[in-house]
Structure 1
Amino acid sequence: MYFLRKSLLILLFVVIGQAQADFNGKVVKVIDGDTVDILTNKKIRVRLLDIDAPERHQAYGNASRKYLASLIAGKTVYVKENKKDIYQRTLGVIYLKQVNINAKMVENGFAWAYRFKGVASNKNMVKLELKAKQNKKGLWKDKHPIAPRDFRYRKK
């Protein structure tokens, strides 16, 4: 019985430790168009959920980073945490005054809708991407934009 109680208690602490926790914090660094550092009581690296921005050395990579910085650098934002990625970054949706910043990046042509093995899990992001593409916004001004996943694959 003691062993069972102790096991359940350990399991409870593990589950609580892995639970998502939404939070507010100040954006202290914009790494690129889909990754930022946010300061709460500690620095948290956040990867914007459901988007894929151009890489730093890719066309529109710097423009994407600058656009994200113009929106949220130095500002206090709300992060709706989803989970951690394989690099232990927080995956989440960033809001500034109830504006979905992730969606704003895609809507204005500074990021693609994120796709895993070619499939997007967020259909709204796909719609925003299509609209930006039709209106030739941001990276869609380029005749042949290269998706970040393809750019990363070519660099290997």
Structure 2
Amino acid sequence: MIQEIITGEPPTQRHAGSVRVLDGDTLDVAGTRVRLFGIDAPETAQTCTRGGRQWNCGAEATQALATQIGGQDVTCEERDIDRYGRVVGICHAGTRDLNAWMVRNGWAVAYRRYGGDIYDADEIVARVAQRGVWSGSFVMPWDWRRGER
């Protein structure tokens, strides 16, 4: 209620606790499935191309997120519930914004359709530095899911 009075926004629900990484943009936080808001990571089975060779960018994105979290608990601020019933949120391990970290390091792209321009600057950093998926060529995750491979 205090948050609503100060910001005009209803309070956000928080989900916190131990975490299991399901893929590069989905977590299980203390039994609640959370989709990371505003980003889209390669699917676990998705491959990308770098230097003329395919590599398992989806599996590496998943591993990068797991490594970044380490053994820390995660806190997610709920932004929405998606059509699959998952919480959609911005998640932190300690003080690190995991959503932004994934995009800034090239393990996910900004998902403008659902997150607007919130992670645009992070994506530019990754592109310019040729980090993660930006180190070669890849199909956008939303296109890959539709079968464009």
Per the alignment, residue 23 of structure 1 pairs with: 15
2:33 corresponds to 1:35:
no
* TM-score, normalised by the number of residues in structure 2: 0.80
Matches for 1:7-156 after TM superposition, within 5 Å: 20-27=12-19, 29-39=20-30, 43-59=31-47, 60-116=57-113, 121-142=115-136, 144-154=137-147
Between Structure 1 and Structure 2, how many residues are aligned?
Answer: 130
* TM-score, normalised by the number of residues in structure 1: 0.77
Q: SS where residue 43 of structure 2 aligns?
A: coil
Contact 2:80 / 2:89 at 8 angstroms: preserved in 1?
A: yes
User: What's the CA shift for 1:20?
Assistant: 4.3
Alignment partners' CA distance in 1, 2:45 and 2:15: 31
Q: SS where residue 147 of structure 2 aligns?
A: helix
Q: SS where residue 84 of structure 2 aligns?
A: coil
Alignment partners' CA distance in 1, 2:34 and 2:70: 13
Amino acid at match of 2:147: R
Per the alignment, residue 3 of structure 1 pairs with: none
Contact 1:94 / 1:101 at 8 angstroms: preserved in 2?
A: yes
Alignment partners' CA distance in 1, 2:84 and 2:13: 18
Contact 1:20 / 1:83 at 8 angstroms: preserved in 2?
A: no
Per the alignment, residue 15 of structure 1 pairs with: none
Which structure has more relative contact order (CA 8 Å, sep 6+)? It is 2
What root-mean-square deviation, in Å, do the aligned CA atoms of Structure 1 and Structure 2 show? 1.8
User: What's the CA shift for 1:152?
Assistant: 1.1
More helix by share: 1
